[in-house]
Amino acid sequence: MQVSEMSGKECRELLARQGWGRLGCALDNQPYIVPIYFVAEGDSLFCFATLGRKIEWMRANPRVCIQADEIRSRYDWKSVVVFGRYEELLDDAEHEQARKHAVTLFSQRDAWWEGAYASDEVRKHASDPIPVVFCVHMTQITGLEAEPDAGQVALDVAQQKW
Ligand SMILES: Cc1cc2nc3c(=O)[nH]c(=O)nc-3n(C[C@H](O)[C@H](O)[C@H](O)COP(=O)(O)OP(=O)(O)OC[C@H]3O[C@@H](n4cnc5c(N)ncnc54)[C@H](O)[C@@H]3O)c2cc1C
């Protein structure tokens, strides 16, 4: 297996294709990771959530990390890591255009609100869910990809048959 670096363009293309990844945030030296959908545009990843732990943590510490991948086999994969800064697109005049733009981007996916609202059903509170639109501004992006050797290609083909 050969591992090589992906270009910035290849990393961005993977993020755009995949549209979901794992969001890492941290508070008081405690990391927390959850899967999340996003829409990649330029140097930004736009996300939708309802108020819960990850939003509370990112409000307190806006330094976040997102990882996304495409794994065909253990010898054939691509993985992208983004470091970035959380910015909440508040429901106010200042952020109105950016929020509208984010919702237009989200609308390209069916039932884009479902993951966020469904998550609220298990929270133990009496109030209505509080929607949150946010953006991760990418500050650094890296990607690695693995390609199988000839023998590993044959092994993958054999394993897929069975
Ligand atoms: C493919 C995929 C896409 C998703 N996309 C979105 C999205 O776009 N927006 C969105 O808001 N949510 C999405 N979710 C759900 C998301 O992963 C979280 O479960 C959800 O957002 C709640 O996170 P929270 O920090 O608000 O947790 P809270 O509701 O505050 O939950 C408190 C605790 O519950 C546990 N918990 C929460 N989520 C998970 C989890 N996923 N797995 C195991 N334990 C958990 C943790 O211990 C957490 O600290 C997606 C999930 C999947 C699998």
**Segment 43-74, tens digit of pLDDT:** 999 999 999 999 999 999 999 999 999 999 99
For residue 16, how many C-alpha atoms fall within 13 Å in the half-sphere facing its CB?
11
Identify the helix (H) or strand (E) that includes residue 149: none
Q: Residue with the nearest Cα to atom 18 of ligand 1?
A: 34
Substitution site in 119, 120, 122, 133 for ligand 1 pocket (most atoms within 8 Å of beta carbon): 119
**Segment 71-101, tens digit of pLDDT:** 999 999 999 999 999 999 999 999 999 999 9
Please list, in sequence order, all residues whose beta carbon lies within 8 angstroms of the beta carbon of residue 82, skipping any fewer than 6 positions away. 11, 15, 45, 65, 66, 67, 68, 136, 138, 140, 141
- Indicate the domain borders of the chain: 2-161
Third-level CATH fold of 2-161: Pnp Oxidase; Chain A (2.30.110)
Which residue in 132, 117, 120 sits closest to 47, CA to CA?
Answer: 132
The two tokens of residue 107 are: 């609308």
CA of 71 to the centre of ligand 1 (A): 22
Please list, in sequence order, all residues whose beta carbon lies within 8 angstroms of the beta carbon of residue 104, skipping any fewer than 6 positions away. none
- Ligand 1 pocket, CB under 6 A: 20, 34-37, 47-50, 52-54, 115-116, 119, 123
Write down the pTM of the prediction: 0.93
